[in-house]
Structure 1
Amino acid sequence: MSDFYQKGVISTLHNLTDRSVEDLEQDLITFSQTRPISLVLPSLFSELEGPALQHIVDELSQVPYLAEITIGLDQANKEQFEYAKNYFSKLPQRHRILWNEGPRMQALDQELKDKNISPRELGKGRNVWFCFGYTLSSRRAEVVGLHDCDILTYDRKMLARLLYPVANPNFSYVFAKGFYPRINQGKLSGRVTRLLVTPLLHALKKVCGDNDYITYLDSFRYPLAGEFAMRASVVSDIRIPSDWGLEIGVLSEVRRNYSTKVIAQVDIADQYDHKHQIMSEEDATKGLSRMSIDISKAIFRKLATDGEIFSLEKFRTVKATYYRTALDLIENYHNDAMMNGLVVDRHEEEQAVELFAQNIMEAGQVFLEYPQEVPFIPSWSRVNSAMPGFLSRLNKAVEEDNA
C-alpha cells in the first residue's frame, strides 16, 4: 500500500484504502454518461498466442463503462486477422481491430508517405498513432485510455484506477500516467527505469543545472509505464516518437501543451509483471540496449528544444556522472530488496549500468551527428490540415475491414 507523499510538480494519486473495483466502476459508469470512455490496445499478433492477452480480454469483458475498444494489430496476415476478429469477439463492448498490414491500411499509409507525413518506422509508436487516429475519427469518446497487451498480472481494477482521474468531471486533469512497483517472481524488476532513467536525470541535473523539464520527468515514479489516460482533445495535438522513446515522448508532449497542474500520476497496481526484454549487449538494435539509446535520445532532444547546448565533451561528463550515480543507486536497490525478501543480482545490475553508460554516449553521438533527424510522427492536427478528409477514409477502411 502506497503513502500519501506528494513530490515534484505533478499530482500523485495514491491507493490509500484499496477501494473496491465495483465501487470505482459505479463512479465511472456515471462519469461516462457525460464523458464517454474508450480504450486503445496496441498488440502484436504473437500476443494473441501468449498467456497475458486472453486474461486481459476476460477481464475487459466485465468492464461496464467503455464505449469502445480499439485494437491495433501488428504483424498479422489475412488468416491471422480473421483469427483475431474471432479472438476478440467475446468483448461485449463495441470494438474495432486496425489490421495494420491489411491492403486498406497500407493504401492509406502510402497516401501519408506521398505527403511525407507517414510514421517512419514500424513498431508500437506507429500502431498507437493509427489507433489514436481511428479513435478521433470514431468520435465516440471524450476520454482515451491505453495499456499494453502483455500484462501478466492484469485485472480490471487497474484500468478503473487509470481512467478515474481523467474521467471524473470534478477533476481538472487532462492526462494521467499509471505507476506501480515492478516486482515479479521474488525479484526487483524495472531495470531501465531504475538503472537508466532515474540516474540519468540526476546526472543531467548536476551537469545542466536546474531545469524544469528534468524536474518534471523526475516527478514521475515510473515514467516508462505504458499505461496512460487522456482527454480526446489531447490526442489531436501530441506528436509521438515511433521508437522506444514513446513513453518519454508522450510525457514531453503533454508538458509542452499543458500546465503541470492538469497532469497526474496514479497508483494502479500493487504488483505488475509483463513480457521482459532481453538486454542484447551484442546488438544495439534490439532489446534493452536499443531501448536505452532511444530513451536517452528522446531526453537529449527535448532538453535541446528547451535551449540546452550539448557537445561531445558535455556528453562525456554526463556519462561519467551517470555511471557514478547509478552505481550508488544499486546499493540502495539491493538493500531495499533484501529487507523485503526480494532478489537482486548485483553483478547483473552493474553489467546493465555499464551497457547503459556506453549507450548514453552512443545516443549523444547520434544526436550530434544527425541534427536533422525527425523523431516524431506528425500530430493528427497536422494530418487533418495536410489531408482534409483523411480521418473519414481511415474510419471507413477500419469499418470495412471489420465488416
Structure 2
Amino acid sequence: MEYVQERVATLHDFGDARPDAPTERAAVVVPMTEREHASLAAERVLSALERVDPERVVVPLRAEADTAPAVADWLDGFALDVETLWCDGPRLADLLDDHGLTGPRGKGRDVWLGLGVAADSEYVVVHDADATTYTDAHVPRLLFPLDRGFAFSKGYYARVENGRLYGRLFRLFYRPLVRALADAHPGAEVLDYLNAFRYALAGEFAATSDLVRSLRVQRGWGLEVGTLGDAYAEAGVEGTAQVDLGRHEHDHRAVSGPAGLSTMSEQVSAALLRAVEAGGVEPDYDTLPDRYEAAAESLVRAYGTDAAFNGLDYDPADERAQVAEYADAVAPPGEDTRLPAWRKTTLDSGAVREAAAADLEAIR
C-alpha cells in the first residue's frame, strides 16, 4: 500500500473506500455482446449496479437478430432503468448512413452510440461487463472526483491472478512505448500525462457530459488510449484524476491471431501516437521501434524481479517474444477513422434511441 501522487490526481483505496458520489445523476454505459448474455461476470456486474442504483444504465448491444431479443429480455429482468441500445439493426444502420457515419463495426462504435444517448445525464460512467471482481464500489469511486471539480476520471487496478502478472499489452507495449517517447522528448506535457496512468488500457472511466460530447471515439481497440488523448485535450492534467479499483480479473486473449494482443497493439499504437502528435510531439519513427524494444527490455527485467519478489510465475523469454511481436506495430498512425465528437456531428442522439428501439421491437 502506498499514497504516491502521479502527474494526475491519484486516489487510493486505503481499505474498501466507498465515497459518497452523485450516482443518482449518472448514466452507466455497459457495452455488451451476445456472448456475455447471462454469464456469471455480467450477472455480477448488473446485480452490483442494482445496489448502486444509478440514474440509468445504457447497454449498447452487439448481437445478431436471432439472439438480441433474449439478451434484451434478460436485461429487463434487473431492477434497473436499463435502455438496451441494439447496435446492429437496419433502421440504425440507415440512420448512420444518412449522416455519413458508416464504417467498421466494433466495440468503439457501440460505445460511441451509448455515449451519445447517455450524455443526457450530468455524468457518464463506462465499464465492461466481463470483470469477475466487479463490486458496487466501482461506480461511486469513478464518480467521486467529478463532483469535486474534475472532468475526467480513469480507473486503475492490479492485473494479478493465477499466480501470474497479466495486463500484458499495457506492461509490454503501452508503458515502454510511452517511456521511449518521453526519454526522447523530456518535458512534453502530453507524455507526462499519458505516462501518469497506472493502467492506461483500463476500460473503466467516468466523465462529465460536456467532456463525453467532445470524445472522438476510436472504432476498435484503440478506444481506451484515444479517450485519454481527448481527455488530455479537453480536461488537461488539472482536470483529470485516476481512481484505485483494487484487483481486476477478466478474460485473457492470445498474443497472436485476428483478435489477439498483437492485432490490438496496432490499433493501440495508432491511437497513442495520434494523441502524441496532437500534443505537439513529433516522434522519430525511424528509431522509435528500437528505442521501444530497449525500454521494454528494461521493464521485463523489472517485472521479473517484482514477480520473483512476490513468488509469482514469470517467463522472461515469453515476455521478450511478445515485445518483438509488438514492435512491428510501432509506426506512424495512418488514416484517422475516428467517429466525430457528438457536439460536432449532425446526428441526433434521440434519433439513435428511436431507431435502435424500433429495430429491437421489430424482432422481439
TM-score greater than 0.5 by the shorter chain:
yes
Check the 8 A contact 1:207/1:317 in 2, yes or no. Answer: no
Question: CA shift at 1:254, angstroms?
Answer: 1.1
Check the 8 A contact 1:60/1:91 in 2, yes or no. Answer: no
**Separation in 2 of the partners of 1:63 and 1:49?**
20
**Separation in 2 of the partners of 1:200 and 1:392?**
40
- Residues 273-317 of structure 1 deviation map (CA, whole Å, 9 limit, x = unaligned): 11111101xx4x43111111111112222222334345xxx3231
237, 255, 263: which one aligns with 1:260: 237
**Number of the residue aligned with 1:101:** 88
316, 322, 329: which one aligns with 2:292: 322
**Number of the residue aligned with 1:14:** 12
272, 278, 303: which one aligns with 2:248: 272
- Residues 312-356 of structure 1 deviation map (CA, whole Å, 9 limit, x = unaligned): xx3231111111111111111111111112222212111111111
Check the 8 A contact 1:119/1:377 in 2, yes or no. Answer: no
* 1:203 aligned onto 2:173: no
Count of aligned residue pairs for this structure pair: 361
**Number of the residue aligned with 2:109:** 126
* 1:378 aligned onto 2:348: no
25, 28, 37: which one aligns with 1:39: 28
**Separation in 2 of the partners of 1:307 and 1:63?**
41
**Number of the residue aligned with 2:324:** 354
- Residues 175-233 of structure 1 deviation map (CA, whole Å, 9 limit, x = unaligned): 10000011111111011111111111111122344311111100111111000001111
Q: Secondary structure at 2:248's aligned position in 1?
A: coil
**Number of the residue aligned with 1:86:** 73
181, 198, 214: which one aligns with 2:158: 181
**Separation in 2 of the partners of 1:107 and 1:394?**
11
**Separation in 1 of the partners of 2:60 and 2:236?**
30
**Separation in 2 of the partners of 1:232 and 1:160?**
16
Cα pair distance change 1:233/1:309, threshold 3 Å: closer
Check the 8 A contact 1:76/1:99 in 2, yes or no. Answer: no
Question: CA shift at 1:81, angstroms?
Answer: 1.5
The one-letter amino acid of 1:122's match is R
**Separation in 2 of the partners of 1:158 and 1:254?**
20
Cα pair distance change 1:17/1:153, threshold 3 Å: closer
Q: Which runs of 5+ in 1 are unaligned?
A: none
Q: Secondary structure at 2:207's aligned position in 1?
A: strand
Q: Which runs of 5+ in 2 are unaligned?
A: none
Q: Secondary structure at 1:109's aligned position in 2?
A: helix
Cα pair distance change 1:163/1:149, threshold 3 Å: same
Q: Secondary structure at 2:191's aligned position in 1?
A: helix
Percent of aligned positions that are identical: 30
Question: CA shift at 1:105, angstroms?
Answer: 1.7
139, 142, 152: which one aligns with 1:162: 142
What does 1:238-317 align with in structure 2 at a 5 Å threshold? 238-269=215-246, 271-280=247-256, 283=257, 285-310=258-283, 314-317=284-287
Name the Cα RMSD after superposition: 1.8
Check the 8 A contact 1:207/1:318 in 2, yes or no. Answer: no
Cα pair distance change 1:262/1:195, threshold 3 Å: same
The one-letter amino acid of 1:248's match is V
**Separation in 2 of the partners of 1:194 and 1:378?**
30
**Separation in 2 of the partners of 1:32 and 1:197?**
32
**Number of the residue aligned with 1:4:** 3
Check the 8 A contact 2:28/2:56 in 1, yes or no. Answer: yes
Farther-moved stretch of structure 1 (243-252 vs 45-54):
45-54
Check the 8 A contact 1:55/1:154 in 2, yes or no. Answer: yes
Check the 8 A contact 1:42/1:73 in 2, yes or no. Answer: yes
**Separation in 1 of the partners of 2:242 and 2:95?**
35
Question: CA shift at 1:159, angstroms?
Answer: 2.3
The one-letter amino acid of 1:396's match is E
Task: Return the TM-score normalized by structure 2.
Answer: 0.93
- Residues 7-30 of structure 1 deviation map (CA, whole Å, 9 limit, x = unaligned): 22x1001112323x4xx4xx23xx
Question: CA shift at 1:90, angstroms?
Answer: 2.4
**Number of the residue aligned with 1:396:** 354
**Separation in 2 of the partners of 1:55 and 1:158?**
13
83, 98, 113: which one aligns with 1:111: 98
